[in-house]
Amino acid sequence: MNSYLPDPKTNPELFENVLLRRIIAFIIDSIIIGVIMLSVTLIIFIAGIATFGITWLTLPLVLPFSILFYYASTLGSHRRASVGMQMFDLVLTPTKGLALDGWRVLIHPIVFWLTIWVFAPLLFIGLFTARRQLLHDLLTSTMMIRRSPMRTTANSS
């Protein structure tokens, strides 16, 4: 294990119930993404009436761009967490000493959605990794940890 990464054995509070928190955060984020998609779809529908249906051709792009917009604006913020993640005290943390730059913020949700659609059973990999990383975390060199113990650990150092 890398020495600069939190160790679940020495800092178990950082990884406490991370998988359960991620599942609930995902449900909340999905609801928010659904509201964004509905809003954009309604705008496109109204614009389609005014443009005799031409803007309706953009409807297949609503889902992917709504997801990317949501995650880019939340994971790319200084909090490094979506609304659901913030509610459940989670933060996306890069591994391997890499920065959490714009590309990693965009690639993380893309890989997440692809792995869910194609390799859904592999979501159980989080049960067997020491830091509770899922497949998309391993592929993008990130991990999810709890924010509040991280602050406590940083303040005590």
Q: Over the stretch 127-152, which tens digit does the pLDDT of each residue have?
A: 888 888 888 888 888 888 898 876 65
Instruction: For residue 120, count CB atoms less than 10 angstroms from its CB and return exposed for 0-12, middle for 13-18, buried for 19 or more.
Output: exposed
List all residues 6 or more positions away from 127 whose beta carbon is below 8 Å from its beta carbon: 19
Q: What pLDDT score does 3 carry? A: 53
Q: What pLDDT score does 105 carry? A: 81
Amino acid making up residue 86: Q
The answer to whether the CB of 144 falls within 8 A of the CB of 24 is no
Tell me the pTM: 0.81
Q: What pLDDT score does 46 carry? A: 94
Q: What pLDDT score does 4 carry? A: 65
